[in-house]
Structure 1
Amino acid sequence: MSNVFRELLKKVGSGNHTGENLTRAEVATATRMMLLGEATPAQIGAFLIAHRIRRPTGEELAGMLDAYDELGPKLQPIAWAHPVIVFGIPYDGRTRTAPIAPVTALLLAAVGQPIIMHGGDRLPTKYGLPLVEIWQGLGIDWTSLPLSKTQQVFEQTGVGFVYTPLHFPLTKTIWEYRDQLGKRPPLATMELIWCPYAGDAHIIPGFVHPPTEAMFRVALGLRGVTKFTLVKGLEGSCDLPRDRTAIIALSVPNAPIEIERLLLAPHDYGFTTKNVPLGSTEELVAGIHEVLAGKSGELMQTALWNGGFYLWQSGICPDMRSGIVKAQELFTSGAVAAKLQQLSKVVNSLFQPV
């Protein structure tokens, strides 16, 4: 048993009247000890569920990020015209609505906007469809690429994927606890704003509950992150919804925790107000190929809605409407499909014997 961890656990688990918030340094220590197995299984399980019940503070999220930065992987900086976008999407995947983020990534990379994603396999608590399986359906297997080769792919194509089971295996134990507890611990919230990139980045996490947005702002401010976009997206992702007004928070230059509120209604831009339901993975991949071929349909509407927004927010286009027009051009011209072909060629070349 770790007596150091025991004292931290006592603070988190003492209830509403005597419990205490941990400092940033204390949470960094606790996170480090859990990842390295320096706390006992009983201590780790108790800490995770107690912290889940009490809910984390923004300062505590910053401490978790400190530990991830110390122990976790990072893709190295490359000279780009635009800050690298890092999408933060729930690791336990999607179960109800069709994900579009891989298409958005290809679209952005096709016009020189680099993007990084991160995550793993089907994981608790939802065991939903993860990004890595969508990429595999598109012919891109990130699961066997060591970080050095992922770096090569990122440098050549502008698309990177940090696959945590291989690149950050210390997190595996935490996933086992999540399965046993049946609840997401606050580490799952932190993962949305984790940045596995060592250079200038634009952090774009999704979230579900409004209090999470406030925690993100505090944590990112403490960490010195000046460029972020927070999206109340589909199932906690950064995919914009079509069945309701999209609620977005934009960072304000030189004001770390201030935001500019942005509300986008799909019908104002000519989109139908419904989300595309998630069927089988095969159906989704087939639908994505139709989008890449420039074919119209509901998934194309989702791709244009998201593509237009992110082309605007990355500075490629001056506003939302011009972003939507640009996205349409990129799909119909075959530019996004060509980016997928390039990515596939580069990834597959790295599997060939030297």
Structure 2
Amino acid sequence: MTIAPYVRHLGRGPGRSRSLTQDEAFDAMRLMLAGEAAPESIGALLMLMRMKGEIPEEIAGFAASARATLPQIPAPALDWPSYAAGRTRGLPFFLLSARLVAQGGYPVLLHGWNSAAHMNEIASIRGCLPHAGITAATSVEHAGELLDRHRIAYLPLESFQPGLLHLLRLREKFNLRSCVNTVLRVLNPARAPASVQGVFHPPYLELQADAGLLLGQENLTVIKGGGGEFERNPAKGVSLFGLRAGAPFTGTLPAILDEHGKLNQGWEDQTLLAQLWRGDWQDPFAEAVVTGTAELALATLGDATPGDTARRLWTERDTSMALD
């Protein structure tokens, strides 16, 4: 078997090339993950798609095919992908948002990978996990144990689908992102009923929402977030795309704070995450990032008053809780 026919569909030239169908994309990803596609063909397919632009059917087909290869992962309430490059972002306060949602009784599975070649060290997600009180799972089984015990876990991509990591890391050879970045955001490897996703480029808002619809996702919120992560800037209004009860959904929310401010305010000390959680450091902007992002996640989960709930959870958080 080969993916050459799919490369041909994409690359036949003006007036003759076309996008892949969802079934064709499913089969192409199956062949790539099974090691049955030549490296040259994989590179050609990914870069032709990069030039053409991705469509929801392709992303949904790739994601569904990748899901079919995955081990059984315990299903959380909320899926939270983290695959942004992070070249310009600041401290990942969204990690505290995820922990806050978990404290509210909703199991959260974070999953991701961030390239050291593109990620600035300050914003390193894995480097910040201990300061956010979140444990990185060493396996799918370990992730299940963490979800049972703490209602939150971070599952590295290499621990559940190393083949996708190989495809993702082709970025280091192309020096360009590929559709794999989008696939991983919509993957929802544990098939959680709700998912939150961030994008860096606005056109991907509708693309990921439409792919979620094709994948049968029930509840989904996609935002243009800090550095491409699901993280809200409280000083700006936010546009929402996604799904509610399996139907397309859009909305807007105003800024939380009446001020101008960037998410990256120059904070460089990763221990500020722990200090903010414990209450040893207080900053209204940072707190609003945490509670504002948690509000969007809680709304995705169906909370009727997500803003009030997020603020209550923040006030009542267990500042002494330490995860192993």
**What TM-score does the superposition give when structure 1 sets the normalisation length?**
0.82
Q: Which residue of 1 aligns with 2:249?
A: 259
* Equivalent residue in structure 2 for 1:277, among 261, 264, 268: 264
Given that 2:217 and 2:243 are in contact with CA atoms closer than 8 Å, whether structure 1 keeps it comes out as no
Aligned partner letter, 1:265: A
Q: Distance in 1 between matches of 2:24 and 2:220?
A: 26
Which residue in the other structure is 1:350 paired with? none
Matched residue, 2:227: 235
1:62 — aligned with what?
A: 60
Query: What is the aligned residue count?
Result: 320
227, 233, 236: which one aligns with 1:244: 236
SS in 2 for 1:306: helix
Cα distance change, pair 95–72 in 1 and its aligned pair in 2 (3 A):
farther
How do residues 188-199 of structure 1 correspond to structure 2 at under 5 angstroms?
188-198=181-191
CA distance in structure 2 between the aligned counterparts of 1:41 and 1:328, rounded to whole angstroms: 49
Q: Give the 3 Å change call, closer, same or farther, for CA 74–229 of structure 1 in structure 2.
A: farther
Where do 1:148-297 residues align within 5 Å?
148-198=141-191, 200-253=192-245, 255=247, 258-267=248-257, 272-277=259-264, 283=269, 285-294=270-279, 295-297=281-283
1:305 maps to amino acid: G
Q: Deviations over 1:288-310 (max 9, x none)?
A: 11211223214223223323443
Q: Which deviates more, 157-166 or 244-253? A: 244-253
Secondary structure of residue in 2 paired with 1:17: coil
Equivalent pairs: percent with the same residue?
19
3-state SS in 2 of match to 1:113: coil
| Residues 131 and 274 in structure 2, CA contact (< 8 A), matched pair in contact too | no
* Compared CA separation, residues 120 and 73, structure 1 to 2 (3 A): farther
CA contact (8 A) 1:206 1:232 kept: yes
- The list of structure 1 runs, each at least 4 consecutive aligned residues, that deviate by more than 4 angstroms after superposition, is 137-141, 278-281
The Cα RMSD (Å) is 2.4
Aligned counterpart in structure 2 of residue 325 of structure 1, from 287, 293, 311: 311
CA contact (8 A) 2:199 2:225 kept: yes
Q: CA deviation at 1:26?
A: 0.8
Q: Which amino acid counterpart does residue 330 of structure 1 have in structure 2?
A: E
Check if 1:95 corresponds to 2:88: yes
* Contact 2:291/2:310 (<8 A) preserved: yes
Q: Do 2:213 and 2:243's aligned partners in 1 also have CA atoms closer than 8 Å?
A: no
Aligned to 1:349: none
1:28-39 aligned at under 5 Å gives the runs 28-39=26-37
> In structure 1, what is the Cα distance between the partners aligned to 2:171 and 2:136?
24
Q: Which runs of 5+ in 1 are unaligned?
A: 79-83, 345-354
Q: CA deviation at 1:184?
A: 0.7
* Cα offset, 1:70, TM superposition: 1.0
Is the 1:94–1:130 Cα contact (8 Å) retained in structure 2? no
Corresponding position: 1:146 with 2:139? yes
Note the alpha carbon deviations across 1:146-205, whole angstroms, 9 max, x for none: 21122111111111222112222112321342110011111111211111114x420111
Structure 2 unaligned runs (5+)? none
Shifted more, 10-19 versus 179-188: the winner is 10-19
Higher helix share: 1
